[in-house]
Structure 1
Amino acid sequence: MSRLKEYISNISDLKDETFNKLKKCFQPLELKKKEFFVREGEYARQIGFLENGIVRAYFLNQAGKEYNKQFFVGPSIIGAYTSLLTKQPNKIAQQALTNCTILAAEYSEIEKLYENYHEIERLGRKIAEYYFLEKEQKEIEMALLDADKRYLIMKERFPGLESIIPQYYIASYLGISRTQLSRIRKKLLRS
C-alpha cells in the first residue's frame, strides 16, 4: 500500500484518515502474463492500481485486427473507465503483457466514499482529468506527427518497453505496420 499512497500523494493530498478509508477498498491481485484485468464485452466493476508490470488496453475491429490503444506501466491506474461510468459492456480489453501486481477495488465502493470524503472525489476527478489530457495528447500526435516522431515520443514515454513487449504491439500503438516500424528503427540507428 505504500506505493499506492506515494502515487496518490503525487496527485492529490489526502488526510491519513481519508487514505485509510480508501485503502480498505483495495485487495491484492496478481495477473500473470496474458491474463485480463477486464475483457471486451464484460461489465467492468473494478478499478486497479498497477503496482508493477505492464498492461495493454486494446480493441478488435470487425475483421479481428487488434489496435493497441494504450500501455500502462506500473505505477499506474487501470480499469475500463467508460464501462464503469456508463454501466455498459466494456469495448476495450486490458491484458497483462508481463506478470503484474495490482491492487484492485470495486468501483462502487469508491463511489460510496465520494459522498463523505470530498478529498477522494477530488482525487478521482484529477485522475480522470489526467487520462483525458493523455488521450487528447495521443490523438493530436496521431493526427499531426509523422510515424518517426510518434515512435520517439513512445520511447520517451515508455523507456525500455520495446525490449519487453512484441514489436507488433508497438507498431499497432503507433498506427503503423511492423515493416514500417522496422524501417524507422533502422533509420534511427543509422543517424
Structure 2
Amino acid sequence: MHDLKKYINNISPLSEVTWQQFQNIFKERRLSNLDFFVREGEIATKIGILQEGLVRGFYRNEDGIEYNKTFFTAPSFIGAYASLITKKENLINQQALSDCNIYEAKYHDFEQLCSKNIELERLAKKIAQLHFVQKEKREIELVMLDAEKRYDILKSEFPNIENQVQQYHIASYLGITPTQLSRIRKKIKSLHM
C-alpha cells in the first residue's frame, strides 16, 4: 500500500485521515491473464487501481474485430468511466494481459466519500483531468502522426510493452495491421545496424 499511497499523493496529496478513509473502501483483487475487469454491455459499478500487471482497453465492431484503445500499466486507475458517470452500458472492455493485482472499490462508495471530503473531490477532479489530457493526446497522435512515430511514442510510454503483449495487440493500438508493424520494426532495426 505504500507505493499506492505515493502514487495517489503524486496526483493530489491526501492527509493521513483522508488516506485511511480512501484506503478503507478498496479491497485487493487478483485478475488472472485474460480476465476482464469490465466488459462491454455491462453497467459499470466499480473503479480499480492497477497495482501490478497490464490491462488493455478495447472495443469490438459489429464484425467482431477488436481495436485496442489503450493500455494501462501499474500504477493507474482503471474503470469504465463513461458507464460509471452515465449509468449506461459500457462500450469499452478492460482485459488483463498478464496476471494483475488491483485494488477495487464500489464507485458509489468513492462518490460518497468525495461528496464529504474536499481532498478526495480534488483527487477525483485531477484524475478526470489527467484522463482528458491523455485522451486528447492520443486522438491527436492518431490523426497527426504516421504509424512509425506512433510506434516510437508507444515504446517510450510503455518501454517493455513488446515483451508483455503479442504484436497484434500493438498493431491494433497503433491503428495498423500486424504486417505493417512488422515492416516498421524491420525498418527501425536496419537503421540501428
TM-score (normalizing by structure 2): 0.98
Question: Where does residue 75 of structure 1 map in the other structure?
Answer: 75
Shift of 1:141: 0.4
Question: Where does residue 11 of structure 2 map in the other structure?
Answer: 11
How do residues 30-179 of structure 1 correspond to structure 2 at under 5 angstroms?
30-179=30-179
C-alpha separation in 2, matches of 1:92 and 1:60: 8
Aligned length: 191
Instruction: List 4+ stretches of structure 1 deviating above 4 A.
Output: none
One-letter amino acid matched to 1:93 = N
Deviation readout 1:85-109 (Å, 9 max, x if unpaired): 0000100000000000000000100
The runs of 5 or more residues in structure 1 that have no matched partner are none
One-letter amino acid matched to 1:36 = F
The runs of 5 or more residues in structure 2 that have no matched partner are none
Shift of 1:3: 2.1
Identity over the aligned pairs, expressed in percent? 51
Q: CA RMSD in A?
A: 0.6
C-alpha separation in 2, matches of 1:148 and 1:94: 26
One-letter amino acid matched to 1:28 = E
TM-score (normalizing by structure 1): 0.99
C-alpha separation in 2, matches of 1:23 and 1:87: 25
Shift of 1:82: 0.5
